Amino acid sequence: MPGTLSCRLSGLLAFTSALFLCPGFAQSPADLFAKAPPEVDDALRARMASFYQAMVDGKARQAEQYVAEDSRDFYYNMQKPKYLSYEIQRLDYTENFTKAQAVVVVKMYLPFPGFQREPLPVPIGSHWKIVDGQWYWYNDPEASRMTPFGKMTPGPSPFGGANSNAPGVSKGPDVASLRKQVQVDKREVQLRIHEASSGEVAISNHLPGIIKLQLQPLAVSGLTIKLDREELKGGEKAVVSFHFQPGEVARYAPVTAIVMVQPLNFQIPIKVFFQ
């Protein structure tokens, strides 16, 4: 049983990095700005569309045909959240256009108190490679080991046996405890409908390592949202500012702003109310 628990924790860490990571792609400038041939790009987008549509339809077994053979065990065992829709936002190619790292924005319900009532857009990362002339989704173990404390390296399980090659989870910080070190002073902002108003939310990094923040686009007439800095060292703070200039619309429904936190692979949702 202890060995099984260690294996499950290892799988959870790998899943979190593989699915909810908008990759901080470590590429050369040549890779970043190289444009893929149209036929390569079209082929990858078509395979991704089939894969993610199967996930939207709740047909995980159908999506399996787009998973590389060497990653199928990982795919079988990982959690598969329910996506309501998807949009391919970004593709970065490497290794002479035989591998790609993607950012896909999916709509899904988040397990945060107060945020289960409406689906939210969530950027997720994925890796793709060409095998026998076809594009396949695959798990990148290197990406799954990245943390603010550096790369987690595989080590022997403290229980030995079949799990001796699993990452040494018991020797490193767990994902939940790391995320608690990124703190938000509040998760709601109140703005006024009939006059100009502003609000702020502070995000603090209490980790010894660097985290990166990314504010997701949110289009609301009259509402301006800004993040004053995108990189936080240990002990530093960033401010998300909200400013609303009323227009002709009489009523505004609440909206949700999302700040992505990397490399911890999670999002901070901030609810915006109009009174």
- Going from N- to C-terminal start, the domains of the chain cover 2-144, 180-274
Fold of 2-144: Nuclear Transport Factor 2; Chain: A, (3.10.450)
Q: What is the pLDDT of residues 100-113, one digit of tens each?
A: 999 998 988 876 54
pLDDT at residue number 123: 81
> pLDDT tens-digit profile of 233-268?
989 999 999 999 988 766 788 999 999 998 888 899
Q: Within 10 Å of residue 193's Cβ, how many Cβ atoms? A: 15
Element (H, E) at 60: helix 60-63
Structure tokens at 179: 């995320």
Q: How confident is the model at residue 16 (pLDDT cuts 50, 70, 90)?
A: very low
Q: For the domain 180-274, what is the CATH code?
A: 2.60.40.10
Matching CATH topology for 2-144 and 180-274?
A: no
Q: Give me the torsion for CA of 116, 117, 120, 122, rounded to 10°.
A: 10
pLDDT in tens, 56-103: 999 999 999 999 999 999 999 888 888 999 999 999 999 999 999 999
What pLDDT digit, counting tens, does each position of 150-190 carry?
444 444 433 333 333 333 333 344 567 778 889 999 999 99
29: CB partners within 8 A, 6+ apart: none
**208 confidence band (pLDDT: 50, 70, 90):** confident
- The contacts of residue 91 (CB under 8 Å, 6+ apart) are 36, 41, 44, 45, 100, 101, 102
What pLDDT shows up at residue 163? 36
* Residue-wise pLDDT tens digits, 42-52: 999 999 999 99
What lies within 8 Å, CB to CB, of 265 at 6+ separation is 16, 17, 20, 21, 22, 175
For 26-40, the pLDDT digits (tens) are 444 444 446 899 999
What pLDDT is stored for residue 174 in this prediction? Answer: 57
